[in-house]
Amino acid sequence: MADDNSKEAFARLTPDHMLDAIESVGLQCDGRFLALNSYENRVYQVGIEESPPLVAKFYRPGRWTDEAIIEEHDFTYALAELEIPVIPPDRDRMGVSLHHHGPHRFALYPCRGGRPPELDNPQHLEQLGRFIARIHAEGATKSFQHRPLLDIDSFAVRPRQFLLDNNFIPAHLDEAYRTLTADLITQVQSCFERAGEINLIRLHGDCHPGNILWTDDGPHIVDFDDARMGPAIQDLWMFLSGDRSYMTARLADLLEGYTQFYDFNPMELYLIEALRTMRLIHYAAWLARRWDDPAFPLAFPWFNTMEYWESQVVILREQAHLMSEPALVWD
């Protein structure tokens, strides 16, 4: 669950405290605050006198070290210097992007708008593939030193254990969930073994349609908060859903653009359903860990209900079936 420092710090993050924090870096706020849909951190659109509004991200205490946050920022600066359309945080006159005010750490970003990509539009997917490939080409030039690896232990084994140890699973589903997820983790391990040796690169890490803002000039990507080392397919598979034929067609569109800028290892296709399974387990545990943060029950009222856990068992059983099927084919 969210640690006491997180709860206490966010409880003190009142509009007055946010105003003081932002003005501590030399800006003058006009008093307008709009909460954006972010819960891991607290993110607000903030009005600035005689300037366009900014987006202020206040980081959850205890999740990332300063070094890890700065490494994320530096990654986005490197991408922006290559004219890849990402949105790095603003730097102050001293070149600082991560600011401290009392118990709070925060960064300020330009405010950008956009719409979700059209995932049934081949041109959008091809353009998106080119965009992600350019991120990966830079991501492959060196490794993160302070950010984690996307692996089975941190995205499946430990999240599963947290849910079981903290009695989130209803009693009548406990044995089914316990057995099913243990078997799923074995299947996930088999998928990784079939994929063989995979190149690990710096990733966006949470590359789903909600983090893509589409404009008339094309896409740009936001929220590198989950950036980590992992296989390239992690930044591609969340754009693939539906039946097998539909996903195969969408994959072809994505990789048509992707391979113009970066090579793709087709062995990573063995990881698609394994990564989807890991995300399902990890996401449930993420909500559970944060459940004593008052923002979470308000934002996710459907979580931790009987219906939720019953549906999770059904979805995870379907994942067991999907991981037993042949990998998608890319011609």
Q: Which residues are catalytic?
A: 206, 223
133 within 8 A of 84, measured Cβ to Cβ = no
Question: How far does Cα 10 stand from its chain's mean position?
Answer: 21
52 within 8 A of 110, measured Cβ to Cβ = yes
- CA dist 76 and 136 (Å) reads 12
> Which 3-state string (H, E, C) describes 277-318?
HHHHHHHHHHHHHCCCCCHHHHHCCCCCCHHHHHHHHHHHHH
CA separation, residue 104 to residues 76, 107, 281 (Å)? 22, 10, 30
Contacts of residue 103, Cβ cutoff 8 Å, sequence gap at least 6:
5, 8, 9, 12, 61
Nearest of 140, 147, 127 to residue 78 by alpha carbon: 140
- CA dist 268 and 288 (Å) reads 30
The secondary structure of residue 227, as a DSSP letter, is -
149 within 8 A of 249, measured Cβ to Cβ = no
Angle, helix 158-165 to helix 171-195, in steps of 10 degrees? 170
Count the residues in the chain.
331
Please report which residue ranges of the chain form alpha helices under DSSP H: 4-11, 15-23, 66-81, 122-139, 152, 158-165, 171-195, 244-258, 272-289, 295-299, 306-324
Angle, helix 171-195 to helix 272-289, in steps of 10 degrees? 140
